[in-house]
Amino acid sequence: MKNDFLLEIGCENLPSGYIDGALRQLEETVSKELRSLKIEYDSLYVTGTPNRLVVYLKGLPAKQEGSVTTVTGPPVSVAVTADGSWTKAAEGFAGKQGVSVEALIRLKTDRGEYLAVRVEEKGRSVDAVLREIVPGWISSLRFPKVMKWDSTDLRFARPVRWVMSLIGDRPLKFTLGGLKSAPVTRLSPYSGESVALEGQKHYFDLLKEARIILDREEREEKVRRDAIKAAVDSGGLLVEDTELCAMVANLVESPVAMAGSFDRKFLDLPREVIVTALKSHQRYFSVQAKSGRLRPNFIAFANGARKNRAEILKGYERVLQARLEDAGFYYREDTSISLEEMSGRLDRIVWLEGLGTLAEKAGRTASLAGWICGEWKPEDSELARRVERAARLAKADLASEMVKDGKEFTKLQGYIGREYARASGEEDEVADAIFEHYLPRFSGDSLPSTDTGMALALADRLDSIAGCFIQGFEPTGSQDPYALRRQAVGILRISLGRKIPLEIPEALAFGLGQYGEDKVASSGRSPHELIEGMIDLFSQRLNTMLRGEGFDYDLVAAILTAPWQYPAAVDGMVRSLQEMRNADRLQAFALAMKRIVNILPKEYRRPVARDEGDAALAEFCGRDAAGGSFDTGLFAEESEKALFDEVSSAAGRLLALETSQLDSSVEILSGLVPAVNLYFDEVLVNCEDEAVRKNRIAFLLVLNRVSGRFCDFLEIVSDQGQ
């Protein structure tokens, strides 16, 4: 007969940011431990509120599944004598396993014949097993901070006031840090009043009657729905915020919405200052008019339908008034000077230990952004001017009263800088770039929309990555304290999304040079080693991004191992190879290119360096018959001459490609397939004539460098997708 198991951990208000993590841990721990103990169940439901974490297991068996294991002992050769008697080794093994020597069996293995014993473990009562393991589920929970209270040894995020445990409708008794489980619950952790439970149905009915919403997702949906309704009832529209809905759902068990208001004078503050003041500490929703302009209203939530709602609302309004007064003071102080004057304070703020001040970072970023503009749009002098100006002002708001010193408005950096730039009379694109250089801030976030913002966003991230690598702050394993992976992804997303021909290694080298030779030398690594490490960071991120888009792993590897430094080029070429595979045209192309590589000596079967590929392309363009690495005068077969002519024509077109056209290299190279196959069908490369043989190898080596400059064909799995 199957039973359901219900566990409730009752505690004082858990911090909202702790609940989701605790639920994930509980679900993982319970499922993993029951699986290891061979206890099957029909379903597992883990949920919680600020005052109770709940585990609900349905369909548990009465007994644990039994098991039979084979324990291997000594070899028969040392355990049994020639006349069949048992040795001390056999007797010792049997004694250790608690069986007689007659119970031992012989087991044939690849290593020979061994003695063994089969140990049968009968399944235990599930009640008994749960009684032993449930306390461990609770005590194993990890929180950012824990407390110790009373005389208990238990440490938890907040004091645990009761533990309820039912198997079916029977209590499952155990002790947790001096606290005994009992078939009771509380509607409030502070009332001290316990309600005796008649069974599991009684528990769920009781919570429903008290309007406590146990389900985490259901509670969040009610918060969203009630906030929308309250905003409409107050004459406006809710400024919807998914993150805030989740926060509020973890603050209350029984959400009750109420609409409040604040002084209209605060609407003169920038929009996000007000929204942040409402959200960051108070967890209030903002309300706007149909026009999008904020209204002097907010939506807050209380826990439960209390009689003193009017007094609660007054308290909410009083606290918010103080927050908005602070924001208004900061704003007036900051706008009393220009943003340029504010940027003059950056030389007093250290950016990172060992990497100078924010003023120095602004100078490096300006120089790097100017270099990017010169590479990207060298003819646009106005862009270069705007980027220089924006770079000098981009971090100025970090010295503002609104943002500095870890206030609740710190998250407004960039946004408030844009507002201060506008108030200081800076041109729109410069002001927008101050905000946009932080984009994208997270996965799925929008990209900068202006050229100035894009150049500045790239430069700021490149400078940060270069500086952190100098100081040895690069990511290791799961650790990435300075979010360099995210910064690299931001650079790649901008380069790909806006088709910017950014050459990553050159940009990193320029950024590294901004720190000076002495600073780079202090890292203990050469510039080349630092750049290689940074390129590896970008390659890993680009690999992950392309694989995430569904491109085949071998095609991504084939392009990334070739010497491509332009992210947009990598993206375009992988797409071209994937399209060829999907159209069943890739295998013939890849096999033809592999024939070139496979006949070469082993030392040449490696990714082609960029300078080697460039030299090979040049050698096929405009050479005379006897120049270069090979001599066309030694070509004896017509197919040799034909392949040379085809490659020479292709090399000219490959050299003429712009960065934005590099995906066309795949089609150009694929046009060589008939000539390559004909060459290998008719030409004996390793012929007896030494001069001819060496010349043919030299020719194919240069040809391999031409194709290998664009793709490492050895990485392509020949039969994949065919």
What are the sequence ranges of the domains in the chain? 3-63+125-209, 67-121, 216-334, 340-548, 557-715
pLDDT of residue 562: 75
Which band of pLDDT confidence, cut at 50, 70 and 90, is reported for residue 610?
confident
For tokens 């797409």, the residue is: 575
- More confidently predicted of 656 and 396: 396
d(CA 345, CA 399): 6
Number of Cβ within 10 Å of residue 337's Cβ equals: 14
d(CA 42, CA 19): 25
Which band of pLDDT confidence, cut at 50, 70 and 90, is reported for residue 626?
very low
Average pLDDT over residues 105-121: 86
Which band of pLDDT confidence, cut at 50, 70 and 90, is reported for residue 625?
very low
Cβ–Cβ under 8 Å, residues 401 and 334 = yes
Question: pLDDT averaged over the chain?
Answer: 91
Beta strands in 535-595 (DSSP E): none
Average pLDDT over residues 309-327: 93
Q: Which of 350, 354, 427 is nearest to 393 (CA)?
A: 427
Which of 40-54, 415-429, 446-460, 609-623 is predicted least confidently? 609-623
Cβ–Cβ under 8 Å, residues 273 and 331 = yes
- More confidently predicted of 503 and 263: 263
Cβ–Cβ under 8 Å, residues 317 and 285 = no
Amino acid at 6: L
CA–centroid distance for 688 within its chain: 58
Average pLDDT over residues 207-226: 95
DSSP secondary structure letter of residue 330:
H
Average pLDDT over residues 86-93: 90
Average pLDDT over residues 177-183: 91
Q: Which of 120, 161, 213 is nearest to 12 (CA)?
A: 161
Q: Using DSSP, state whether 563 is helix, strand or coil.
A: coil
For tokens 């064909």, the residue is: 713
d(CA 129, CA 349): 58
DSSP 3-state percent helix, strand, coil across the chain (nearest 5):
55, 15, 35
For tokens 């003071």, the residue is: 329
Residue 687 has pLDDT above 70, yes or no: yes
Q: Using DSSP, state whether 227 is helix, strand or coil.
A: helix
* DSSP symbols for 104-155: -EEEEETTEEEEEEEEEEPPPBHHHHHHHHHHHHHHT---SS-B--TT----
Which band of pLDDT confidence, cut at 50, 70 and 90, is reported for residue 660?
low
Q: Which of 649, 503, 680, 670 is nearest to 576 (CA)?
A: 670
Q: Using DSSP, state whether 600 is helix, strand or coil.
A: coil
Which band of pLDDT confidence, cut at 50, 70 and 90, is reported for residue 624?
very low
Q: Which residues face 116 on adjacent strands?
A: 72, 105
d(CA 440, CA 332): 29
Which of 11-15, 307-311, 431-435 is predicted least confidently? 307-311
d(CA 266, CA 460): 34
Q: What is the pLDDT of residues 580-604, one digit of tens each?
A: 999 999 999 999 999 999 999 888 8
Q: Using DSSP, state whether 690 is helix, strand or coil.
A: helix
Which of 27-36, 112-121, 127-136, 283-292 is predicted least confidently? 112-121
Residue 721 has pLDDT above 50, yes or no: no
d(CA 9, CA 140): 13
d(CA 445, CA 450): 15
Number of Cβ within 10 Å of residue 263's Cβ equals: 13
d(CA 236, CA 637): 84
d(CA 518, CA 221): 57
Which of 1-15, 171-185, 261-275, 646-660 is predicted least confidently? 646-660
Which of 33-47, 254-268, 360-374, 612-626 is predicted least confidently? 612-626
Which of 281-295, 398-412, 696-710 is predicted least confidently? 398-412
Tokens representing residue 258 in the block: 């109420």
Tokens representing residue 343 in the block: 């940027």
Q: Which alpha helices (H) appear in 281-414, and where do they start and end?
A: 309-334, 339-343, 358-376, 381-393
Residue 453 has pLDDT above 80, yes or no: yes
Residue 295 has pLDDT above 70, yes or no: yes
Q: Which alpha helices (H) appear in 44-125, and where do they start and end?
A: 76-79, 88-97
Residue 505 has pLDDT above 60, yes or no: yes
Which band of pLDDT confidence, cut at 50, 70 and 90, is reported for residue 720?
very low
Q: Using DSSP, state whether 156 is helix, strand or coil.
A: strand
Tokens representing residue 677 in the block: 């196959």
Using a pLDDT cut of 90, give the percent of the chain over it: 72
Q: Report long-range pairs for 292-295 (Cβ below 8 Å, ≥24 apart).
A: 293/267, 294/239, 294/267, 295/234, 295/235, 295/236
Residue 22 has pLDDT above 80, yes or no: yes
pLDDT of residue 20: 95
Q: What is the pLDDT of residues 126-156, one digit of tens each?
A: 999 999 999 999 999 999 999 988 777 789 9
Q: Using DSSP, state whether 87 is helix, strand or coil.
A: coil
Residue 569 has pLDDT above 80, yes or no: yes
* DSSP symbols for 479-544: B-TT-HHHHHHHHHHHHHHTT----HHHHHHHHHHTT-HHHHHTTTS-HHHHHHHHHHHHHHHHHH
Q: How far is CA 679 from CA 171, 401, 595, 699, 700, in A?
A: 83, 73, 10, 12, 11
Which band of pLDDT confidence, cut at 50, 70 and 90, is reported for residue 119?
confident
> What's the length of the chain?
722
Per-residue H/E/C for 391-434: HHHCCHHHHCCCCHHHCCCHHHCCHHHHHHHHHCCCCHHHHHHH
d(CA 570, CA 563): 10
